[in-house]
Structure formats: C-alpha cells, structure tokens
Amino acid sequence: MIEHLLVPILSGTIVAATPLIYAAIGELVAERSGVVNLGVEGIMLIGTVTAFAVAFAGYPAFVAGLAAAGAGALASLVFAVLALSLATNQYAAGLALTILGSGLSAFIGHNFGSASLKTIAKIHVPILSDLPVIGPVLFAHDAMTYLALAITAAVWWFLYRTKAGLVVRIVGEAPQSAHAIGYPVIFIRYLTTMFGGSMAGLGGAYLALAYTPLWVENMTAGRGWIALALVVFAAWRPGRVLLGAWLFGGVTVLQLFAQGIGIKVPSELLSSLPYIATIIVLVAISRNPQTLRLNAPVSLGQSFRPQG
Amino acid sequence: MSAYRLELCGVTKRYPGIVANDGISLQVGPGEIHAVLGENGAGKSTLMKIIYGAVEADSGDVLWNGEKVKIANPAAARRLGIGMVYQHFSLFESVSVVENIAVAMSGRFDLPALSTRIVRLSERYGLPVDPNRLLHHLSVGERQRVEIIRCLLQNPKLLILDEPTSVLTPQAVRRLFEVLRTLAAEGCSILYISHKLDEIRELCDTATVLRSGRVVGTASPKLVSAAELARFMVGAELPDVHRDPVALTPHPRLEAIGLSARSDDPFGTDLSDLSLAVHGGEILGIAGVSGNGQGELLSLLSGERTASADMIQLDGQPVGDLPVADRRALGVAFVPEERLGRGAVPTISLADNGLLTAHADGLVKRGFIDRQRVAGFAKAIISQFGVKCTGPAALAHSLSGGNLQKFIVGREISLSPRVLIVSQPTWGVDVAASAFIRQALIDLSRSGAAVLVISEELEELFQISDRIAVIYQGRLSRATSRTATNVEEIGLLMAGVGPAFQTAA
C-alpha cells in the first residue's frame, strides 16, 4: 500500500522539480555575474511554445528541446542588449521580457487549440529500472530529467573549480575591479545571461514535451518566478537550488494527492502550498548572514559602465 | 635602443570640461624609483591608468624599452611587464587569496601549484600571507601584500604603486619600502605615486611634479627640502594651522562609557568596552588603520545605530538610545566619511543639502520651506568657507571633493554644535582646502565645542589634535596628549602592539 503511494509521489516529485531546476540553475549563473533577469517566466513561456510548435510539426523531441533553448537564448539576448549594452534598468527590462514572452506564447499557441503531443520516452536502464521502489523513482525518467541533474553538477563544477567560473563570480562581486584587471565585464555578462536564457527555454520545453504535453495557455503557471525566488533563497548555491526545486516538486505532488483524496481544504490554499513551503524552508536555511555575504553577488542588478 | 624603460612623450587626456593630462613627458630608467608627485586632482591617477592600459590617451606616445607601444588594456600592460597596485585594491572579498591572484594570471589554472609559488615569493620578499584564507578576513595591510604579490608573480619590469601607504602604519610603510628597494636593486623600475613628501624624499631617486594636469618640473627629492617640494606641488606657500590653548570645560561634553556592540556587517569589527571623553575646547583624534571599528564607532556616536542610553552621554545626559535626529536636536553635528551619498545628496543643490541638517534653524515655517532663507544659509557658508561653486543652486556632485567637503564642514559648523564628530575630514581634499578645514575644526573647538576627529592620516591628527587615541580591533587605547607621544608610538598602537590593548583574556 505504502509503495503504491510512495512511488508515484517520489517519482512525481522529481518530474515536477525538473523545469524549476533548469530555469533556476540558468538564472543562478546569470545572477552570479551580477545580472538579474526577471524575464525568466517569459523566456520559459517562449521555450514552451517553441518546443510545442517544433514537436507538433513532427520533429523529434531533442530538436524541439534544442529549438526551445535557442529561442530562450535569443529572447535573453534582447534583454542583454537593453540591460547590458544600453544599461537600462535590469528589473524593468526583465519585466518587459516576461510580458513579451507571455503575449508571444499565447499568440503563437493560439494555433494549437488544445492539441496534444506524445511525451518523450522514458529511459529504461536494465536491472536498475526493475528494482523495487528505487527503480521507478530514480531510474525510469526521460533524458531531460537526467540532463537537468547533469547540468546542475556541471554548473557547480564550473563555478567552483574552473577559472572561467571564478571570473563569473568576481564579475558579479566587483565589476569595476574585474574590469581594472582586464576582464570584459559586459561580454561575460552577455554569455551568462544567454546561458540563463537557454536554460529557461529548456525548462519551458520540458513542460511542453514531458510534463503536460497538451497545449494550454500560460503553461508555466508562475514557475519562472519561483525559479527566481529559488536562486535568492538558495543563497546562489547550486546544491540548495536542487534541494529547493525538489521540495517544491514534492509539495506540488503531495497537495495534488491531497486534492485527489478530497481533503476538506480549499484547493486554492492547497495549490499555494508548494510556493509557501519552498520559500519558508529556504529562508530558514539561508538566514546565516555570513553565507549570504559570501555568496550574494554584490553588484546584482546594477548596470556596469567602465570607468576610466 | 633607449636607456629608458618607460618614456612618455606629450601624453594628453581630456575629459569633458577638464584636461586631466596636458602634454605629459617623463622618463623612467631600469631600477629607478620614480615619484609622481601632485595634489589630488593633479592628474596622477589618470596618467597611471594610461600607462596601465585602463584609459586610452587622446594623443602622445608611450615608449617601452625605446619602442613605441600601444597599450590597449591592462592585460596588454601585464604582457609587457607592467604591474599596478591600485589605491583602492582590485581584489575580491568573497574568494581566497590564491583565487584573487589566479584571476590575474595567465596560464594553467592550478591553484595548489600557484599557492606554492605564492608562499615561496612571499618568503623571499618578506611579505607573509596565507594563500588559502578568504580575502575578507585580511587586514588592509595584508590585502596590499596580496596585490603586490599578484604583481610580482608576473615578473614585472615596471611596478606602479598608487598612494600605497595611505592604509599602512608607519612601521608597515618602512617594510614596504624595503621590499621596493630590493625590487629596484633587482632591476625593476618603480613608479611611486604619492602626495606624501617625506616618503618620497626617503624612497625616490627622481620626482616628476604634476599640477593641474601639467608637468611643472622634475626634482631630485633627496636634495630638496619637503617645504620646497610642497611649494612646487601646490604652486604657493603652504598655509599653516595655528591654535591657541583654551580652558577646557570642567566636564566632558561627549562621553562614551564601556561602549560595546556587535557589528551589523558579518565582516565588520565588533566594538568592545570602548570609552572616551571629549571636553569642550579640545580636539580628540582617533587614529587607526581602516576597518578596525571606526565605521561602527561612528554609527553608534551619530545615532545611526543605538546603544543602551548610558553608554553615550552628552554633557552628562544619557543619549545612547536616541536616534540621529534627536541627537542633532541636542547639539551634536556630524561629518561622515563619504561625502557623496552620506554627507550630501549628490543630485540636489547645495541649498537643499544645507536644508537637510539645518532645517531646525528657522529654515522651515509652519511646515513650509522658506526658500529665501535656505538660499541665504547656503550663500553664507559658500562665502564664509570659500567654497568654489556657481552658487547655492549648484548640484552637490558638480563640486570638487575639496569644495564639497568645505561646504559640508561649513554647514555643520554653522549649526554651532556643542559636539562635532568628523570622520576623515580631508580625505581626497587638496592641500589648501585641507588646511582651511583643519583650521575651521580647531577654531570650532576653541569656541568651546568638543570635536572628535577620526582619521587614518597620522600627519593630520598630529597637526590638529590635542589628544590622540588609537582604535584597534574594536578597542580604544587611552588617549595621550599630542605632545607626550609621537608618530612611532601611535604607529605601534595602530598595529596592535602595546600594553594599551592587552585585555584580561
């Protein structure tokens, strides 16, 4: 009995967390370099509609995923030109991008009515996938789920073990100093912003290709905002982003089950639980001022203009 | 092949409304220690940034070992063999020493190997530093060592140091000079930027003097007196401050008793059991290397942070728990360290900046601002304190550092405070304005006010203070009369050496 509940809950947790992991880990890299892109929600929506359109046209899923990542990078390029080259306010430019993204996705998605896609294939690992409980929970997901984890690990390694990652961190901490010792601050921020955009695009693609392969408007339902919050409350650390995403996924699935068995609590309240729980837990574990001071990018959200 | 390592010919750099460098020429030979001497705003920093590739000159040539070169960016400068130690370090707080150094190095990213090289180099030159510590744990002096090591690891042929001693104790300055002399003996040329005449006379072979962006001459600093150099630099006779002793008030006007507080900043300094007393009629100077609790002390004295009531007393009245406005109403005035953003709002006029702290002086009637009186108040400060500006409507950030500081000090003094608390009164201020401000502080104290000056410039403190105390790691030494101590003794205290800081641990 327990197994019948436990397996779908845990397995569902990992699935529900995946789009958040993509969006948050990409934004984390951008924020580490000092760029806050409030357009994550909009970019995810652009990714969703791109992936849906490409897959709907009959192309294989990995092409749809790549197209979504490309579209996300392109959308963030618009943001980058405004916020980095023209030094407009990052918050305003990001909000504008979110509005653009949601409008654009609704406009394009109009053509799909409520069409549906075939979900991408689950990977079957011999022996491992057949293990009881562990098999279906950990070894029966699609490639995009595993890719998200691989990217998280790669980002951690990049930030803390490579020189390029160190440069991203110092650009976020003190862009003037980084400029003074000869790093192209704006170019580096372009790269991190576009990485963030392509990851948000992939997160959106996951929603269309695997999570709910049925077109509905505004499929992200605020996940872009949660991803942004995750980055902050995870104190800009990849491992905590992963934890936060799983927590969010877990509570999402749990409250769905609770609604399913008809608990007498308003469904709106239950639906808001994952958001509340994630934020409370992350705030609680990231309260240490030392941690925040060491990890928070000091120049976050500030335009950089090289001074002579 | 020229005998010079670096030669500048007619280097010019214009900024909107100002010529920062006007046809500057100078030559530095191998192993020469060459001073670039000038006031704040004379164009020293711009010139160094041109040599280091951080700023591009409008015209003129840079010759490196006799060949014309174009230094497009700092990386190109480093490839030539030019290293730079900035006045405000280009270091990163949240990463370790070795990582701070690695970001500026080309080649393979191998932190353990680099750490070994750092340790070896630091032993060779007597610059001890632990490569694995996070930078924010280091004192200012240690940070400078990191910057210097970072330069030395690239085997520079020319090392530029921009005001390197402003953050050091006198003893640390001497150690730095030994390192620089060793380097020069090994053939490295050194460009030493400073406005401190004694240091230049002690260290440098040649001095190029800049005034308002132009070379006004070259001198052998060891052969001329400090006064001559000063005249050269300022272009006029140096004004001297004068003070007459007056009778002190019988009781201290400002008193801190056992002041302890944890810093708001996790990287800040906690204050522990700090006591001081300033009488009317005197200036108490607080010396110390920055980051030893000065910021915390100032925010507690001003009321930006509050303590328990008895810890701070004003003419015997407990005020420790009062916020800034209440303390100001009781006759305390403040001049903070940051002129723009704290002492004055950069984007509003001088008149409005005057209003900010003088609003209780009849500038506001029934809730309405009396514009005429506000302008009159600003005008009076401008004329009385010789502030060079276009008038009360000038925006604060349009003034030079020295003029804005004169305005801010003038504004506070015009309130006729019982107690004036000043931090870094002449930081980045030109010589003439500095002398004026120092005299104004002395005059205020002689009129019966208690003046507390926190400064990192020992020379300044010895010029104006009646008594001097030293703050070190959040503790304050006993104040001693200026005439009973000397720079050497205060310098040791600044490094934490001496019985004054020993606590029963």
Q: What is the largest CA-CA distance in chain A?
A: 69
DSSP code, position B304: S
Helix (H) or strand (E) holding A240: helix A238-260
In a mutagenesis test of the A interface, which of B80, B92, B97, B101 is the best target, namely the one with the most A β-carbons within 10 Å?
B92
3-state secondary structure of B316: coil
Give yes or no for residue B1 having a pLDDT over 50: no
C-alpha to C-alpha distance for A148 and A82, rounded to whole angstroms: 29
Q: Which residues contact A112 (CB under 8 A, 6 or more apart)?
A: A52, A53, A56, A215
A167 touches chain B (CB under 8 A): yes
pLDDT over 50 at A105, yes or no? yes
Q: Tell whether B94 lies on the interface with A, counting CB pairs under 8 A.
A: yes
* Inter-chain touch A181–B90, beta carbons under 8 Å: yes
Amino acid B500: pLDDT? 61
* Separation CA B241–CA B436 (nearest Å): 8
Q: What are phi and psi of B253, to 5 degrees?
A: -80, -40
Q: Which residues contact A140 (CB under 8 A, 6 or more apart)?
A: A11, A122, A123, A124, A129
Contact of B486 with chain A, judged by CB distance below 8 Å, is answered with no
Q: Among A160-164, A228-232, B193-197, where is mean pLDDT lowest?
A: B193-197
A178: which chain B residues are within 8 Å (Cβ-Cβ)? Answer: 90, 92, 103
How many CA atoms does the CB half-sphere of B183 hold within 13 Å? 32
pLDDT score for B298: 92
Q: Which residue did the predictor score with more confidence, A229 or B428?
A: A229
A 8-27 → B contacts, CB under 8 A: none
Contact A173 B92 (CB under 8 A): yes
CB atoms within 10 A of CB B7: 20
Binding-face residues of B in 244-273 toward A, CB within 8 A? 265-267
Is some CB atom of chain A closer than 8 A to the CB atom of B90?
yes
Nearest CA in chain A to B89: A177
pLDDT given at position B254: 95
Domain residue spans of chain A: 2-295
Taking phi over 0 as left and psi of -120 to 50 as alpha, with beta for the rest, B367 belongs to left
Task: Say which of A174, A179, A295 has its CB closest to residue B92.
Answer: A174
Q: Which residue of B has its CA nearest to A291?
A: B266
Cβ contact, residue pair A163, B109, below 8 Å = yes
- Contact across the interface for B266 and A289, Cβ inside 8 Å: yes
B384/A contact by beta carbon, under 8 A? no
- Whether chain A has a CB inside 8 Å of the CB on B360: the answer is no
Flag whether pLDDT at B276 surpasses 60. yes
Contacts of B252 (CB under 8 A, 6+ apart): B277, B278, B279, B313, B450
All structural domains of chain B, each given as residue ranges with its CATH number in brackets, are 6-234 (3.40.50.300), 239-331+417-505 (3.40.50.300), 342-415 (no CATH)
Contact B407/B381 with Cβ under 8 angstroms? yes
Q: Is B134 in Cβ contact with A180 (below 8 Å)? A: no
- Chain A residue with CA closest to B74: the answer is A182
Count of residues making up chain B: 505
Chain B residue nearest residue A308, CA to CA: B55
- Reported as half-sphere exposure (CB side, CA atoms, 13 A), residue B13 has a value of 24
A162–B54 C-beta distance less than 8 A: no
Contact A166 B99 (CB under 8 A): yes
A180 to B75: CB separation less than 8 angstroms, yes or no: no
Task: Kindly state the tokens that stand for B42.
Answer: 């004379």
Residue B505 has pLDDT above 50, yes or no: no
Give the model's pLDDT for residue B26: 92
Partner-chain contact A162 B49, CB within 8 Å: no
Provide the mean pLDDT of chain A: 90
Q: Which of A177, A295, A299, A300 to mutate to test the interface with B (most CBs of B within 10 A)?
A: A177
Write the CA distances from B378 to A113, B297, B421, integer angstroms.
Answer: 69, 30, 21
B18 touches chain A (CB under 8 A): no
Q: How close is the nearest chain B Cα to the Cα of A172, in Å?
A: 10
Strands B419-423 and B467-472: unpaired
Place of tokens 């950089």: A304
- Alpha helix ranges (H) inside B194-317: 197-203, 226-234, 294-302
Q: Which residue of A has its CA nearest to B76?
A: A182
**DSSP code of residue B416:** -
Summarize pLDDT for A247-273 with one digit per residue, the tens: 989 998 888 888 888 788 888 888 888
Instruction: Determine the Cα–Cα distance for residues B272 and B473; give it in Å rounded to an integer.
Output: 9
Confidence of residue B138 (pLDDT cuts 50, 70, 90): confident
Question: Which of A162, A177, A295 comes nearest B91 by C-beta?
Answer: A177
Rounded Cα distance, B461 and B467, in Å: 9
Q: Is A12 helix (H, G, I), strand (E, B) or coil?
A: helix
Interchain pair A173, B75: CB under 8 A: no
**pLDDT (average), residues B392-399:** 88
pLDDT score recorded for residue B217: 87
CA distance B267 to A294: 10
C-alpha A170/C-alpha B104 separation (Å) is 11
Contact A170 B92 (CB under 8 A): yes
Res A307: pLDDT: 64
Cβ-defined contact of A181 to B94 (cutoff 8 Å): no
B362 pLDDT band, cuts 50/70/90, is confident
Least confident of A24-28, A135-139, B74-78, B182-186: A135-139
What six digits make up the tokens of B455?
């400064």
A163 interfacial to chain B (CB closer than 8 Å): yes
Across the interface, whether the CB atoms of B75 and A182 are under 8 A apart is answered yes
CA nearest neighbour of A200 among A176, A177, A225: A225
The pLDDT, as a whole number, for residue B400 is 78
Q: Domain A2-295: which topology? A: ABC transporter involved in vitamin B12 uptake, BtuC (1.10.3470)
pLDDT grade for A153, boundaries at 50, 70 and 90: very high
Is the CB of A173 less than 8 angstroms away from the CB of B94? yes
Rounded to whole angstroms, how far apart are CA atoms A134 and B276?
68
CA A276 remoteness from chain centre: 18
Q: Which residue of A has its CA nearest to B83?
A: A181
Does residue B503 surpass a pLDDT of 50? Answer: no
In chain B, what residues touch A289 (CB-CB under 8 Å)?
A: 266
Higher pLDDT, B300 or B106: B300
Give, for B36, the enclosing helix (H) or strand (E).
strand B33-38
The three-class DSSP label of residue B469 is: strand
Say if the Cβ atoms of B90 and A180 lie within 8 Å: yes
- CB-based contact (8 Å) between A307 and chain B? no
3-state secondary structure of B356: helix
Return the closest-CA partner of residue A274 out of A237, A239, A245, A240.
Answer: A245
- Number of H-type helices and E-type strands within chain B: 16, 23
Model confidence at A2, pLDDT cuts 50, 70, 90, reads: low
